[in-house]
Amino acid sequence: MSKINEEKIHFTEQQTIIIKEKDYIGRILDIGGGGEGIISQLYGDKVVAIDLSEEELKEAPKNDSLKIIMDVRQLKFLDEQFDIVTSFFTFMYINNEDLNQVFKEIKRVLKPGGKLLIWGLKIPKKREIDKEIFAARLKVEFKNKSIETGYGTIWEDNEQDIDKFIEIARQNEMKVINQKQGKQYFYLEVKI
Ligand SMILES: C[S@@+](CC[C@H](N)C(=O)[O-])C[C@H]1O[C@@H](n2cnc3c(N)ncnc32)[C@H](O)[C@@H]1O
């Protein structure tokens, strides 16, 4: 990612995200899977990682996942192709008004009974005095690795929290099956 003046960034306290590898059977679609490409690092050739940015996909560690430049708002897959869809700190980059369309697309490409797993940031409403960028400092622990990283997004009319995603899931007739909240992040699992 391009360098931004740190004075313009509001950083959260460091949040530790521990991901326990699960024995998923089937194919995983990882949305916004560039950058650290955490889900691809975990599940390798089970993963189709899509990202709007070619640069972010090329930056991600090399492994056996299939990487494709694609916009989640308009997926190019046929219906019912995936068992799991993941969004690891990607929805914070999607405009709130696009999220409903994004959920519809995800539901369309999931097989019946498929799941959507969301790791997201709690982004409060921006006030006049707040900085331009809202960024999470994260420590991600998985397998035997520990990665320290930061994900930042423009802070403007994009307040997000778990309730927002639960509501969009309900509107799309998806059922919440698991949820967890840290101080400044959340994890949500929904099923179709
Ligand atoms: C910071 S990354 C999230 C972290 C990443 N999942 C990881 O494991 O490191 C967010 C990604 O979402 C991508 N993105 C933003 N809008 C998108 C869209 N509409 N469709 C697909 N990818 C998008 C960005 O290009 C960026 O690479």
Q: For ligand 1, is residue 56 a contact (CB within 6 Å)?
A: yes
Q: Between these two residues, 61 and 1, which has the higher pLDDT value?
A: 61
State pLDDT tens for residues 37-68.
999 999 999 999 999 999 999 999 999 999 99
Q: What is the pTM of this model?
A: 0.95
Q: For ligand 1, is residue 32 a contact (CB within 6 Å)?
A: yes
Q: For ligand 1, is residue 142 a contact (CB within 6 Å)?
A: no
Q: Return the closest-CA partner of residue 191 out of 177, 172, 181.
A: 177
Q: Between these two residues, 153 and 4, which has the higher pLDDT value?
A: 153
Q: For ligand 1, is residue 152 a contact (CB within 6 Å)?
A: no
- Pocket probe mutation, ligand 1, options 50, 51, 104, max atoms within 8 Å of Cβ: 51
So where are the chain's domains? 25-122+159-191
Lowest mean pLDDT among 10-24, 68-82, 106-120: 10-24
Instruction: Determine the Cα–Cα distance for residues 4 and 110; give it in Å rounded to an integer.
Output: 37
State pLDDT tens for residues 85-99.
999 999 999 999 999
pLDDT at 5: 79
Any residues with CB less than 8 A from the CB of 127 and at least 6 apart, and which?
none
pLDDT-derived band of residue 3, with 50, 70 and 90 as boundaries? low
Question: Average pLDDT, whole number, for the chain?
Answer: 95
- Pocket probe mutation, ligand 1, options 90, 96, 118, max atoms within 8 Å of Cβ: 90
CA of 38 relative to ligand 1 center, distance in Å: 11
Instruction: Determine the Cα–Cα distance for residues 127 and 124; give it in Å rounded to an integer.
Output: 9
pLDDT at 77: 98
What's domain 25-122+159-191's superfamily in CATH? Vaccinia Virus protein VP39 (3.40.50.150)
